Amino acid sequence: MPQCSRRSLARLLPALALALSAACASEGPPSTESKSGAQPAPQPKSAGVVNVYSHRHYETDKRLFTKFEQETGISVRVVKAGADALIERLVSEGASSPADLLITADAGRLVRADAKGLLQPVQSEILEQAVPENLRHPDGHWFGLTQRARVIVYNKERVQPSELSTYAALTEPAWKGRVLVRSSANMYNQSLLASMIAHDGEAASQAWAEGVVSNMARPPKGSDRDQMKAVAAGVGDVAIVNTYYVGLLVNSKVPEERAVGEQMGVFFPDQDGRGAHVNVSGAGVTRHAPNRDNAVQLLEFLVNEDSQATFAQANYEFPVRADVPAGSLLESWGDFKADALPLSNLGMHQETAVRVFDAAGWR
Ligand SMILES: [Fe+2]
């Protein structure tokens, strides 16, 4: 990507510099928000704002938004909250909502937002080429931005990967008192169960949920990271977690967390069958987006090769793009087969998943 800087521009002819500064605008937010007191830079044609409602809580996103601001001159304003709260806010704001883009950490919530009529179709060759069909809405109401697999991690000292096979096998008597997993209120678990309901039906999924509950090392509590800490502490031997949390532990600044990460083996379940459950963090342009074009531009930016590599390297998420490598840690876990279920199917089973979890006594 060509570098644009004030210094390089200053060396150019003034007229050319003026034209280029409009194209590059790589020095930060638009001059309306500039606090430098310097001569205001000419406004790039596309300058303005994009208002993002985001459930994602990662430092990586902040870095990418800043880069987008520098490249386009469009200010990214972010409201962070849980996906359900953001969806409710969009409903109550209606046509006067300032939101342009809804970002969630789970396809299920995008499907829910779409079912409420909160998203609008986007046609973009860039998005359609970058995001595989099963990871986006068929009419462009939302697009996956990153992939995460929900895997089984195991304590490398106490479990051999040969003892593991499928999600279903975690219900076998050998795992009595050894399985750690977070609450069923968590959307990652709801989407995993929704995928099982889509493939195997409700009765089989009910049996699975009951089987896992009876093998739990303790009643569900804490985050995915907490499950791995409990595996390392010997509370249980295996846990169901999202892959990027392993990466965040292995690369943590806290030595104790790094030690926990090092103890975890990563196992992709169901490799002889449908493949490991994957979900996406994704985004959709809101129905009443006041800055629709900017929202589409941000979406396209987030699936470009650089952004996809940043998601992979800094947040340990799998790129949605096939042509961007996943990074050394993720690649060290080996290739895996991912469940090809279209993620738009997850949403339709989400309510059933919640009911099944409740009936199984999975807190
Ligand atoms: Fe997460």
Cα(331) to centroid(ligand 1), Å: 20
Question: Which has the closest alpha carbon to 135: 281, 236, 3, 324?
Answer: 281
- Give dist(CA 136, CA 320) in Å, integer: 10
Examine residue 7 and state whether it is found in any structural domain, yes or no. no
For every one of its 363 residues, what pLDDT tens digit does the chain have, with 9 covering 90 and above?
Answer: 333 333 333 333 333 333 333 333 222 333 333 333 344 444 444 469 999 999 998 889 999 999 999 999 999 999 999 999 999 999 999 999 999 999 999 998 999 999 999 999 999 999 999 999 999 999 999 999 999 999 999 999 999 999 999 999 999 999 999 999 999 999 999 999 999 999 999 999 999 999 999 999 999 999 999 999 999 999 999 999 999 999 999 999 999 999 999 999 999 999 999 999 999 999 999 999 999 999 999 999 999 999 999 999 999 999 999 999 998 999 999 999 999 999 988 888 999 999 999 999 999
Measured CA distances, 151 to 38, 74, 166, 191, 219 (Å): 52, 38, 10, 13, 20
| 295 located within any domain | yes
Question: Within this chain, do residues 102 and 91 fall inside the same structural domain, yes or no?
Answer: yes
Pair (234, 316) in one structural domain:
no
Q: What distance in Å separates the CA atoms of residue 84 and residue 74, rounded to the nearest whole number?
A: 27
Angstrom distances, CA of residue 92 to CA of 85, 86, 89, 95: 11, 10, 5, 9
Specify whether 238 is located in the same domain as 293: no
Q: Are 257 and 219 in a shared domain?
A: yes
In a domain, residue 269? The reply is yes
Q: Which residues pair with 51 in a beta bridge?
A: 77
| CA 205 to ligand 1 center in whole angstroms | 23
Q: Are residues 314 and 218 in the same domain?
A: no
Using an 8 Å Cβ cutoff, are 282 and 176 in contact?
Answer: no
pLDDT, residue 331, reads: 93
Residue 33 neighbours by CB distance under 10 Å? 10
Read off the CATH number of the domain in which 292 is found. 3.40.190.10
CA of 8 to the centre of ligand 1 (A): 40
Same domain, residue pair 240 and 343: yes
Q: What is the pLDDT of residue 28?
A: 30
Residue 14 domain flag? no
Full domain range(s) for residue 164: 148-277+331-360
Ligand 1 center to residue 170 CA distance, Å?
A: 22
Tell whether 138 and 186 lie within a shared domain: no
pLDDT at 47: 65
Beta strands 48-54; 74-80: pairing state: parallel
pLDDT of 31 reads 31
Residues 263, 305, single domain; the answer is no
Kindly give the distance from the C-alpha atom of residue 105 to the centroid of ligand 1, in angstroms, as a whole number: 7
- What's the confidence (pLDDT) of residue 97? 97
Q: Are both 240 and 178 inside the same structural domain? A: yes
Instruction: Give residues with Cβ within 8 angstroms of 44, minimum separation 6.
Output: 21, 22, 23, 25, 30, 72, 73
- Does 16 fall in a domain? no
How many structural domains are present in the chain? 2
Whether residue 263 sits in one domain with residue 179: yes
Are 108 and 184 found together in one domain? no
Report the separation in Å between the CA atom of 323 and the middle of ligand 1, taken as the mean of its atom positions. Answer: 24
Residues 165, 224, single domain; the answer is yes
Distances in whole angstroms, Cα of residue 77 to Cα of each of 5, 68, 154, 298: 24, 12, 40, 12
